[in-house]
Amino acid sequence: MATDRDLGRATGQSTDEAAPDPRARLRADCARCAGLCCVALPFHRSSEFAFDKAAGTPCRNLAEDFRCRVHADLRTRGMAGCTTFDCLGAGQQVTQVTFGGRTWRDDAALAQPMFGTFATVRRLHELLWYLADAIERPATAPLRTELHEAALAVERLTARPAEALVTIDEEISSRGRATDDLLRRASALVRAEHLDRTRPADRSGADLVGARLAGADLRGTDLSAALLLGADLHGADLRLADVRYADLRGADLRGADLSSSLYALGPQLAGARGDARTVLPPGVARPAHWE
């Protein structure tokens, strides 16, 4: 059985003092990373990227200190895709913890293990983000122990050495399926008191590409894994809507209320359009390029 101290570490909560931000370590800290997202990931010339880059090849904009030379001008330089990615803290975890501060520039032999581990830890940190969100919701009290235990199990996976992290795809997939089921149950508890028989409560996986939903009352709606590319959600009420894995690229979220939406991710929202009137959930950063 996990101790209270173990559970506090897994969710970012302290059992001895005022609880800190439970998702603080799940936010990118580029100053403590070795530029992993700028090297490990591939991209192709498109409307999102100005040039091609192969996986494992440093981006031409990556400086010697692992900072981006054009970070302040990414969108005007044709690198909008970079502004919609967030490692969720995997970069500093891999650099500082898994590899003890060593980098792929220090030792070329570390390159492939670091890049593979980075992708794995990013997947695990996404699960931790969702679990932290669920744990914070008062309505999930009946599942609180299960949620804490799940977070601790994922946390233990992130603490494994590099040679183990790059070979646990099957274990991560199994943990991911179990976590997804738990997150769905938590979502149902949170949304239950806000469901209205006059509104479709379950649009999970729905094809809503380009849908006209401006001003729509979508409170408590399950939009998990829904395709909302280019959808008009201008002024929509998305409070307590489950948006986990929803594809919001190009969606119009100007003036939308996501103040209590479940499982929203910063990089997910960064692919949409928003403005100063868009209300985001606590802990989710407003994309710098929004109006």
The three-point CA angle 29-34-35 to 5° equals 80
In a domain, 208, yes or no: yes
- 27 and 94 housed in the same domain: yes
CATH of the domain at 244: 2.160.20.80
Assign residue 14 a region: left if phi > 0, alpha if psi is -120 to 50, beta otherwise? beta
Q: Which residue has the tokens 């299960």?
A: 146
Cβ proximity of 26 and 88 under 8 Å: yes
Q: What is the pLDDT of residue 197?
A: 57
What is the spatial distance between Cα 217 and Cα 186, in angstroms, rounded to a whole number?
A: 21
Token reading at 89: 């803290």
In a domain, 71, yes or no: no
Which of 125, 160, 190 lies at the terminal end of a domain, its last residue? Answer: 190
Which of 159, 190, 221 lies at the terminal end of a domain, its last residue? Answer: 190
- 13 and 96 housed in the same domain: yes
Q: What is the DSSP string of 142-158?
A: GGHHHHHHHHHHHHHHH
Q: How many Cα atoms are found within 13 Å in the side-chain-facing hemisphere of 116?
A: 14
- 11 and 149 housed in the same domain: yes
Split into its structural domains, the chain has a count of 2
In a domain, 57, yes or no: no
Which of 145, 160, 190 lies at the terminal end of a domain, its last residue? Answer: 190
Q: What is the DSSP string of 46-76?
A: SSS-SS-B-TTS--TTB-TTS-BTTGGGTTT
First to last CA, the chain: 48
In a domain, 233, yes or no: yes
Strand partners, 273: 252
Domain encompassing residue 222: 197-291
- 136 and 249 housed in the same domain: no
- 90 and 184 housed in the same domain: yes
Phi, psi of 237 (to 5 degrees): -100, 105
Q: Which residue has the tokens 């985001």?
A: 280
Q: How many Cα atoms are found within 13 Å in the side-chain-facing hemisphere of 197?
A: 0
In a domain, 75, yes or no: no
- 159 and 226 housed in the same domain: no
Measured over the CA atoms of residue 56, residue 265, residue 102 and residue 5, the dihedral's sign is negative
The three-point CA angle 216-278-250 to 5° equals 75
Q: What is the pLDDT of residue 144?
A: 96
Phi, psi of 43 (to 5 degrees): -155, 160
Could you list the pLDDT tens digit for every one of the 291 residues in the chain? 344 344 444 444 434 444 567 788 999 999 999 999 999 999 999 999 999 999 999 999 999 999 999 999 999 999 999 999 999 999 999 999 999 999 999 999 999 999 999 999 999 999 999 999 999 999 999 999 999 999 999 999 999 999 999 888 889 999 999 999 999 999 999 998 776 655 657 899 999 999 999 999 999 999 999 999 999 999 999 999 999 999 999 999 999 999 999 999 999 999 999 999 999 999 999 998 897
What is the spatial distance between Cα 199 and Cα 48, in angstroms, rounded to a whole number?
A: 36
- 184 and 251 housed in the same domain: no
In a domain, 50, yes or no: no
- 117 and 174 housed in the same domain: yes
